[in-house]
A and B are shown apart, each in its own frame.
Chain A
C-alpha cells in the first residue's frame, strides 16, 4: 500500500505528542498549586488587615486584657514577617490561637458583644478563618494531585527530565502542637 511508509514516521510523532501532553498536564497542575497558594495568601493578608480594626474596637472594652491583645498583635506581626510554607503555617497557627483566645475572653464582656462593629468584625474574621481553611484544603488537594503526578509512571519520567519539584503541604498542626497530648475527636 502506498501509505505504509508513513508508519515509521508516525510513531515518533505520536510519541512526541504524548510526551507534550504529559508535560502540559504537569505544568497545568503546577500552576493550579501556585494559584491555590495565591488564594491562601490573599486571605492571610485580609486577616492581617482586619486585626488592627478589631484591636481598635476591643481596646476600650478590654482594658484589663492587655496580654491577650498584645499576643494577637505580636502573632500578627510574626505571621507577616515569616516566609516559606512551613513557617507560614506555624505562624498562622499561633495567630489563630491568639485570636481564639481573644474571642473567648470577649465572651466575658456583654457590652462588647452587643457592639455592632465588633459583631461585624467577628463575622468577617470567622469567615476569613474559614476561607483560609478552605483555601488550605484546596491547596493541599492541588499539591496532592501534582505530587502524585510526579511520582506515578510514566509522568514521573517527564517530571524528572524537566526538574519538576514536589510541593509541600500546608499543615494546620505543627509538630510542636502534636507533641502536647491533647484530646482529639
Chain B
C-alpha cells in the first residue's frame, strides 16, 4: 500500500514533467516552424506549462468539480449520504472529505483532491436514488480508497494537464496549414514540419495511453480496499451491477474526466474496448464476489444497516430456520434478522475454508486428521477426531491454533455464512457438548465441527485445566 502511494506520487511528478516537456516541445516546434522572434513561443509554452502544473496541483480538484457541474451538499439535504461518507472515512481512518453532488440521473461517482486532507467525493443524484445503504457504502469506500492511495492526485493531474494538452493540440491541428515559411528553407522546413506534425499527433495519443495505464490496476486495488474497509464486498459488487445496468450516460462527463469515475461514464458511446479506461465491469464484480469470506450477498456483518439488503444477488431464497426464535423486525439489525443459506449439498469434497473459501491445509496431530485454514486461522475437525483429541490429547489440540495462525487478522466471530468443507451444507451453530460456553459450527451431516480462530485453544485449555 505504501509502495502504491509512493508510486502515485512519483508518477505524478513524472506526469507533470512530461506534460511540461511536451508543451515546451510544442513551443519549440512552433518556433522552428514559424520562426517567431526571441523564441517567444517557447517562453509562452513554458509559462503555460508552469501555470498549468501549479493550477493542476492546487486547483485541480475545483477544475474537475466545476467541469463535472458538481455542487457542495449540506448534511440536511441528504443526511444518508453525508453519514455514509463519514462512516467510511472513520472505517478508512481518513479525515472526512467534502461531499459534492452532480444533478444527473445516471448513477456514478468520483473522488478528487491532492491529498487525503483536501479530498472531495462527488456523486450523482442518480446514485443516491438507485443504491441502498450497503451499496452506497461500497461506492464511497471505493472512492476513499482512491483518496488514501493518492490515486486522486494522479488522476486529477491527468484530467487537468492532459485535458489541456489535448485541447491545445486540437487547436494547433486546426491552424497548422496556415503556416508561412520560416527562416529555414526547403528540405529542412519539410523535416521540421514533420517533427511538428509528429508532436501534434503524438500528444493526444500519449494522453490516451496515460489514461489507460492510469486506471486498471487502480480500480482493482480500490475495489479490494473497499471490500476491506466495509468488510462487505457484496455491497460494492451489487452497486457496480446496478451502475453498469443503467442505460443513461452522464451528461457532464467528458474525455478529460472519464477516467476518474467509478464506472466509465462514457461506456455507451461505443468505440473499441482498447480505449476504455476501466477494467471490464464483469471482471470487477466477479473479483469482488470471489472475496467471499462473507459469503455471497447478505451475510451477517459488523456494521449495521437501516435498510434491508434489497438487491441481493444470490438466487437462494432465505428461509428462516425452525430453531431460530422469531426475530422482530429490527431497524437497527446486525446479525439478527439475516437469513441463512438453505442446505445445498455440493457434489464433491471442496475442501474450501468455511470462512474465507481458501483451500484448507490438511495435517495430522496425535494421529488424527486435521484441516486448518492458513488464512483465517480456523480449524475443521471430524467428529471422531474431535472426541478422540479432546479425551486423549487436549494439549496437542491447543497447539493447533498456533499451527494455523489468523493471517488475515480479522475478528471472525459472527461474520458470514459458513458451509461444510466436505459437503457444502450450511453449518449449524451449536454449543459444543464438551464445553457448552463455546458455540461451534457443526455440519448437520456429521462431517465435522468448525472452530474459528482461537476457539480450539479455548476448548482444549478448559479441558487441560479441568472444569
Contacts and interface: CB of A to CB of B under 8 A. Distances in A.
Interface of A: 32, 36, 39, 43, 96, 99-100, 103-104, 106-107, 120, 122-127, 129-131, 133-138, 140-142, 144, 169, 171-173, 178-179, 181-185
Interface stretch (B239-247, B278-286, B295-303, B360-368): B295-303
A129 B90 CA distance: 12
Nearest to B327: A104
Interface residues on B, range: 35 or more
B352 interface: no
A185 B304 contact: no
Interface in B323-344: 323-324, 328-333, 335-336, 338, 340
Interface in B20-60: none
Interface of B: 79-80, 83-84, 86-88, 90-93, 231, 299-300, 302-306, 321, 323-324, 328-333, 335-336, 338, 340, 409, 411, 413-414, 416-418, 429-431, 436-437, 439, 441
A124 B80 CA distance: 8
Nearest to B80: A123
Which of A100, A103, A126, A179 counts the most B-chain CB atoms under 10 A from its CB?
A126
A125 B439 contact: no
A178 B409 contact: no
A169 B406 CA distance: 15
Nearest to A133: B303
Nearest to B452: A184
Contacts of A138: 90-93
B321 A103 contact: no
Given A127-B80, A181-B431, A184-B413, 16 more contacts: A103-B330, A104-B328, A107-B328, A122-B306, A123-B79, A123-B80, A125-B332, A126-B331, A134-B87, A144-B409, A172-B414, A179-B437, A183-B429, A185-B338, A185-B340, A185-B417
B239 to A, nearest CB: 17
A183 B306 contact: no
B340 A131 contact: no
B332 A126 contact: yes
B91 A137 contact: yes
20 contacts: A100-B332, A100-B333, A107-B331, A122-B331, A125-B332, A126-B304, A127-B80, A130-B303, A130-B304, A134-B90, A134-B91, A136-B302, A137-B91, A171-B411, A179-B437, A181-B439, A183-B323, A183-B324, A184-B441, A185-B340
What are the nearest 5 A-B pairs in CB distance?
Answer: A127-B83, A134-B91, A133-B303, A184-B429, A126-B306
A129 B332 contact: yes
B83 A100 contact: no
B146 to A, nearest CB: 18
A174 B436 CA distance: 16
Contacts of B332: 96, 99-100, 103, 125-126, 129
A172 B302 contact: yes
Given A124-B79, A127-B83, A140 B411 contact: yes
A104 B437 CA distance: 28
Contact of B83 (A124, A133, A172): A124
B304 A184 contact: no
A62 to B, nearest CB: 15
A43 B90 CA distance: 10
A142 B409 CA distance: 11
A43 to B, nearest CB: 7
A125 B331 CA distance: 11
A185 B416 contact: yes
Contacts of B340: 185
Contacts of A179: 437
Contact of A137 (B84, B302, B417, B418): B302
B87 A131 contact: yes
Given A123-B306, A124-B79, A173-B413, A184 B335 contact: yes
A161 to B, nearest CB: 26
Contacts of A135: 90-91
B207 to A, nearest CB: 38
B53 to A, nearest CB: 32
A17 B92 CA distance: 31
B108 to A, nearest CB: 23
B331 A127 contact: no
Nearest to A127: B83
B121 to A, nearest CB: 16
Contact of B414 (A125, A140, A184): A184
Nearest to B79: A123
B93 A178 contact: no
A184 B429 CA distance: 6
A122 to B, nearest CB: 6
Given A103-B331, A144-B409, A179-B437, A185 B299 contact: yes
Contact of B409 (A32, A39, A106, A141): A141
Contacts of A106: 331
Which of B92, B300, B437 counts the most A-chain CB atoms under 10 A from its CB?
B437
Contacts of A134: 87-88, 90-91, 302-303
B439 A127 contact: no
A172 B332 CA distance: 15
A121 B231 CA distance: 26
B79 A120 contact: yes
B344 to A, nearest CB: 15
